[in-house]
A and B are shown apart, each in its own frame.
Chain A
Amino acid sequence: MKRLSAWRERLVDFFFPAESDIWLAVLRIGLGLEVILYALSLRDDWNYLLAGTGHGLISRSLGEAILSLESHLVPRLGWLVALAAHIGLREETVLSVAWICLLTAGCTLLVGLACRFSAILAWFLHLCAAKSGGFVSYGVDNFMTMGLFYLMLSPLPDQYSFDWRLRKSRPRDPQLLGFWRRLLQLHLCLIYFFSGLTKCIGSGWWDGSNIWRSLIRPPFDIIDPEILVRWRYLFPVAGIFICLLEIGYPFFVWNSKTRKIWLIGICAMHVGIGLMMGMYLFALIMIVLNAAAFGAGLIRLERHRISLRPQEAVS
């Protein structure tokens, strides 16, 4: 019985560790920046990619019809367009307003103004765009939805936000902060584990051919293959390195001795993806999620170590 209660206590300690809100500040600022870059990257094509039948690249209506087959509960731009039609607003105007609101939500998240409202607005508008334009969505949209979903549910505001200075009522439960961080950490572990697992079952990652193919595959072919081929001996090493890095993430990132190495390795991999394949939005969101989940503690640890040094010297 004693063992059971001790085990239960350890479980509660694991899921509700007392945490500061540094990780939340990293997540908020990072996602704010991501939302801004996302909106700016789609500035010229927003209406073109998300317009209804007969106005854009593909019909938003078709994407939304397919989405309705899956679930009627998923937010979409069609809802906003239909709502605005009642007051005589055109589709183009609604899409432009949605884009401006998304950009504004990104900016207010970045500075920490009306954090909760900004997080909900950014999540909702990004989700509407990602789902309505489902045919032109890719991995980055899922990670942004996931990050914004956790952010809007987390105990905002953090101490580095404008809200913290402006408002008197502040969330003060470090265990709740720890809970949301733990969820993000566990989610990231599952992401990398399954990503690594599916890579490991393909032969192309072990012999490096997938590295070569990913770098010369349009539209990721931003480095001249003539230059790449000179580094061919590194492809198998890089392929195995990525497989091990991803599948080993849930096992090595928890240990304080290996966390730094794993985190640097993973972030370096994402920087490489951003620079060598042009997927800078994808790279940024992954670095932000990693930094918030496991990086914020490392920075704090370093600060503690530095602050301890004079005392150690005295003793």
Chain B
Amino acid sequence: MTLGKRRVYLAGLALQLFLIITVSSRDTFWVLSKSRTIFPDSCKKFWQQAEQIASMALGQRLPRSNPVRQILTGYLHLSGIEVGYGFFAPNIPNSYKLIFELHFPDGRVEYKLPRVSNAASVLRVAGLLDQIGRTRSEPFRQTMVKMLADSVRREHADATMIRAIFGSVVLPSVPEFQHGKRESYEFLYAYDFSVTDEATEQMPP
């Protein structure tokens, strides 16, 4: 292999490693600034600043239409390095559950969960519910729940009203479990969808 060719490969490797480290650092700083960790709360401002610097290095502070940002973000997605690696960290949050209450013209009420065929798809839907549960954007949450409700409505076309009940699954600790406490369901949001598909009501927690 020629020296020139080696240099090109090394430059590519350096760029790839730089991007991986920067993305992973950005996400780690984000976790540190948002979660309860072993560090004091007074450090959170520092972590936020560090996260902003990492984002800047990735072109995330540039306007969305900027070609540099478009190319960099595009490359991160193409190579599968657009997110960091903080799986199940720093702590494991509660999971979320979505139940649909279907009301029929004859007064019948049925309860349904989002339907998928197998365990692999259940993992994916669970990830989707986590995103809905974690978001701070109410319009996003409402849109997602509405789409999920619509998928249920298509299978039960005679339902007149669908109430989507979104909640958090509260997990017991080991001592709590030993004292008889089991996982419980904490109500967070509810949306009513009439056949016209409009969210008519939202009940806050």
A residues whose Cβ falls under 8 Å from a Cβ of B = 12, 15-16, 41-42, 44-45, 48-49, 54, 56-59, 62, 69-75, 127, 131, 133, 135-139, 141-147, 149, 173, 175-176, 179, 182-183, 186-187, 190-192, 194-195, 197-205, 209-210, 212-214, 216-219, 225, 229, 232, 235, 278-279, 281
* Chain B CB within 10 A, most for which of A190, A194, A210, A212: A194
Known pairs A48-B116, A70-B77; A202 contacts B127 (CB<8 A): no
Report the Cα distance A240→B13, complex, angstroms: 33
Known pairs A183-B16, A190-B24; A136 contacts B74 (CB<8 A): no
For A131, the chain B residues whose CB sits under 8 A away are 77
For B38, the chain A residues whose CB sits under 8 A away are 201-203
For B73, the chain A residues whose CB sits under 8 A away are 70-71, 73-74
The answer to the question of B99 belonging to the interface, with a C-beta cut-off of 8 Å to chain A, is no
Instruction: Please tell me if the beta carbons of B71 and A186 are within 8 angstroms of each other in the complex.
Output: no
Instruction: Please tell me if the beta carbons of B16 and A278 are within 8 angstroms of each other in the complex.
Output: no
Closest to B83 in A: A142
Instruction: Please tell me if the beta carbons of B90 and A16 are within 8 angstroms of each other in the complex.
Output: no
Report the Cα distance A200→B38, complex, angstroms: 9
Per-position 1/0 for B48-68, Cβ under 8 A of A: 000000000000000010000
Per-position 1/0 for B166-190, Cβ under 8 A of A: 0001011110011000010000000
Report the Cα distance A281→B119, complex, angstroms: 11
The answer to the question of B150 belonging to the interface, with a C-beta cut-off of 8 Å to chain A, is yes
Instruction: Please tell me if the beta carbons of A71 and B74 are within 8 angstroms of each other in the complex.
Output: yes
For B91, the chain A residues whose CB sits under 8 A away are 202-205, 210, 213
| A-B pairs with beta carbons under 8 A, tally | 213
Instruction: Please tell me if the beta carbons of B124 and A136 are within 8 angstroms of each other in the complex.
Output: yes
B164 to chain A, nearest CB (A): 13
Report the Cα distance A127→B147, complex, angstroms: 23
For A176, the chain B residues whose CB sits under 8 A away are 1, 9
Instruction: Please tell me if the beta carbons of B92 and A210 are within 8 angstroms of each other in the complex.
Output: yes
For B28, the chain A residues whose CB sits under 8 A away are 194, 197-198
Instruction: Please tell me if the beta carbons of A195 and B178 are within 8 angstroms of each other in the complex.
Output: no
A35 to chain B, nearest CB (A): 14
Closest to A201 in B: B37
Interface of chain B residues 56 through 113 with chain A (CB within 8 A): 64, 69-71, 73-75, 77-92, 94-95, 97
Report the Cα distance A212→B171, complex, angstroms: 10
Query: Chain B, interface size: which category?
Result: 35 or more
Instruction: Please tell me if the beta carbons of A73 and B71 are within 8 angstroms of each other in the complex.
Output: yes
Closest to B92 in A: A213
Instruction: Please tell me if the beta carbons of A198 and B89 are within 8 angstroms of each other in the complex.
Output: yes
The answer to the question of B195 belonging to the interface, with a C-beta cut-off of 8 Å to chain A, is no
Report the Cα distance A59→B81, complex, angstroms: 25
For B27, the chain A residues whose CB sits under 8 A away are 194, 198
Known pairs A131-B77, A216-B183, A217-B92; A139 contacts B123 (CB<8 A): no
Instruction: Please tell me if the beta carbons of B74 and A213 are within 8 angstroms of each other in the complex.
Output: no
Per-position 1/0 for B142-176, Cβ under 8 A of A: 01100110110000000000000000010111100
Report the Cα distance A133→B123, complex, angstroms: 13
Instruction: Please tell me if the beta carbons of B147 and A139 are within 8 angstroms of each other in the complex.
Output: no
Instruction: Please tell me if the beta carbons of A42 and B120 are within 8 angstroms of each other in the complex.
Output: yes
Known pairs A16-B6, A49-B124, A219-B126; A186 contacts B17 (CB<8 A): yes
The answer to the question of B42 belonging to the interface, with a C-beta cut-off of 8 Å to chain A, is no
Instruction: Please tell me if the beta carbons of B31 and A201 are within 8 angstroms of each other in the complex.
Output: yes
For B121, the chain A residues whose CB sits under 8 A away are 41-42, 44-45, 49, 136
Closest to B77 in A: A74
Known pairs A44-B117, A45-B117; A195 contacts B85 (CB<8 A): yes
The answer to the question of B196 belonging to the interface, with a C-beta cut-off of 8 Å to chain A, is no
Instruction: Please tell me if the beta carbons of A138 and B123 are within 8 angstroms of each other in the complex.
Output: yes
Q: Select which of A58, A135, A204 is within 8 A of B92 by beta carbon.
A: A204
**Which 3 pairs between the two chains have the least Cβ-Cβ distance?**
A202-B90, A145-B80, A73-B74
Instruction: Please tell me if the beta carbons of B6 and A12 are within 8 angstroms of each other in the complex.
Output: yes
Q: Select which of B89, B117, B122, B143 is within 8 A of A195 by beta carbon.
A: B89
